[in-house]
Chains A and B, each alone.
Chain A
Amino acid sequence: DAGVIQSPRHEVTEMGQEVTLRCKPISGHDYLFWYRQTMMRGLELLIYFNNNVPIDDSGMPEDRFSAKMPNASFSTLKIQPSEPRDSAVYFCASSGGAFKGGELFFGEGSRLTVL
């Protein structure tokens, strides 16, 4: 039974470049979440979707960040242009919602380094 799959696992890029992170949630899950984790700020919720619709994007830092979920099995988080302060581990998680237990299942993360 496949878990949440994220790619790439590691990304090193230069300031100003576009970065796209990808996520495949667990099949049947209605919720998808994007988190960012840094030493300074800990685990931050960036955005989450329910049935492919963005529900809360208040955590998205600024217009350079965008997220899409074109279908139930795929989501992207894009940063354009990237900056060194975007360096972090980005996690995707999925959930069946409160009616199915409520817990989030996390991917292994995408470690982004912006030089």
Chain B
Amino acid sequence: AQSVTQPDIHITVSEGASLELRCNYSYGATPYLFWYVQSPGQGLQLLLKYFSGDTLVQGIKGFEAEFKRSQSSFNLRKPSVHWSDAAEYFCAVGPGYGGSQGNLIFGKGTKLSVKP
């Protein structure tokens, strides 16, 4: 079955500390992978995506993610967290190029709190 697991429901980090949010997926074919961020009262905004090629992808706001096929993981990282990064983060997986299915499968999200 296709699924996305974000094992951490809530993470708190200090401002300036590094961050890693975990994401594991189960998907039959080679998928596309995404991270979205949702600030309070807002819709989901795409942070970054992986399609193919270099397994380390850069996104907006200083975020990066690394695709590890052997571990079925796509963890999100940021070297130094800012207070404005406090939000909820969603990992998602979708069909790779040539896939016919249109929808993405989302994880349940990880809420990030930032301590001053």
Contact = CB atoms under 8 A, between A and B. Distances in A.
Given A98-B32, A108-B42, A109-B43, A43 B90 contact: yes
A45 B43 contact: no
Interface stretch (A11-19, A74-82, A99-107): A99-107
A106 B98 contact: no
A95 to B, nearest CB: 6
Contacts, number: 67
A91 B90 contact: no
Given A43-B90, A99-B97, A103-B34, A48 B103 contact: yes
Interface of A: 4, 30-31, 33, 42-43, 45, 48, 50, 55-56, 91, 93, 95, 97-99, 101-109
Interface in B86-116: 90, 92, 94-104, 106, 108-109
A65 to B, nearest CB: 17
A109 B101 CA distance: 24
A53 to B, nearest CB: 11
Given A42-B109, A98-B96, A99-B97, A55 B102 contact: yes
Contact of B49 (A30, A48, A101, A109): A101
Contacts of B106: 42-43
A95 B97 contact: no
B87 to A, nearest CB: 14
Chain B interface size range: 20 to 34
Nearest to B94: A102
Contacts of B101: 98
A43 B43 CA distance: 11
A98 B102 contact: yes
Interface of B: 32, 34, 36, 42-46, 49, 51, 90, 92, 94-104, 106, 108-109
B44 A106 contact: yes
B46 A103 contact: yes
B102 A31 contact: yes
Contacts of B49: 101-103
A104 B90 CA distance: 12
Contacts of B46: 103-105
Most buried by B among A42, A55, A93, A104: A104
